[in-house]
Amino acid sequence: MRIVVKVGTTTLAHTTGRLNIRRVEQLCKVLSDLKNAGHEIVLVSSGAIGMGVGKLGLRERPQDMPTKQAAAAVGQCELMYVYDKLFSEYHHTVAQILLTGSDVRDAQRQENFHNTLFRLLELGALPILNENDTVATEEIVIGDNDTLAAIIAVSVRADLLILLSDIDGLYTADPRTDKTARLIPTVSEITPELLALAGGSGSGLGTGGMATKLRAAQTVNASGIDMVIASGADPDILYRIAAGEPAGTRFTGRC
């Protein structure tokens, strides 16, 4: 299977913005193992801004553009250093691709990164993508990595998109405030009622939320690709998802 995995900032970093070492080590180990088992993996990783915040010792995620871009420049470097180091331990080669909205909207530029991605997969490398936050100003922003991951999943004709998040799936209500909330295991149609269930961003460090995840599901499902939202707290869950076992919420593609 060709699997696109997206990890959010809250999965990779503590609330301080510093790396969650145990989590990231486990994530790289499981992804390496899935690659060894014959799956092709594309990783969409957030965390550049969050980790830059930690490394620069800022108190919170910056609101102004120059500080955000500066934090991303520092954090992206740290992220790739960590990925390179950990994946190398399992003899996997990582490649960094940073994109802006212009790259995914302009047909010519889209073809360029598309060709690079396919070549990297042919070469057995593990592409790691993020938005190019250091140059992405409002006009050319993709905005969030749930959207980027969906675009990439369609672009590489993935079999499956997995969004690892700080929430373990879609619930009937907000589980943080409503004790009666139940996990919805499978969604075969994204109805207006479901969209109404989705709120905004859940954390102080990331930018995505359930609404962007549902839109991502709509995008990939329209191309016949399944999507799973699951908790990133224990990356071992990826084994179960790859094996088609129930975990989190699965949005089924219909093509």
Q: Which is nearer to ligand GLU, 54 or 235 (CB)?
A: 54
- Residue 138 to residue 213: CA distance in whole angstroms: 21
The tokens of 56 are what? 């620069």
Name, in order, each residue with C-beta under 8 angstroms of 179's C-beta and a sequence gap of 6 or more. none
Q: How big is the site for ligand GLU, counted in residues (CB under 6 A)?
A: 15
**β-bridge mates for residue 81, sequence order:** none
Query: Is residue 132 near ligand GLU by the rule CB under 6 A?
Result: no
Binding mask 157-196 for ligand GLU (x = CB under 6 A): ----------------------------------------
For 229: left if phi > 0, alpha if psi spans -120 to 50, otherwise beta; the answer is: beta
Pick one of 20, 134, 203, 207: the residue that binds ligand GLU (CB under 6 A): 207
CB of 255 to ligand GLU, least distance (A): 26
* Length of the chain, in residues: 255
Tell me which residues in 77-96 interact with ligand GLU (CB under 6 A): none
The tokens of 238 are what? 């990826």
Query: Is residue 20 near ligand GLU by the rule CB under 6 A?
Result: no
CB of 189 to ligand GLU, least distance (A): 25
The tokens of 108 are what? 């010519």
Pick one of 103, 144, 168, 226: the residue that binds ligand GLU (CB under 6 A): 144
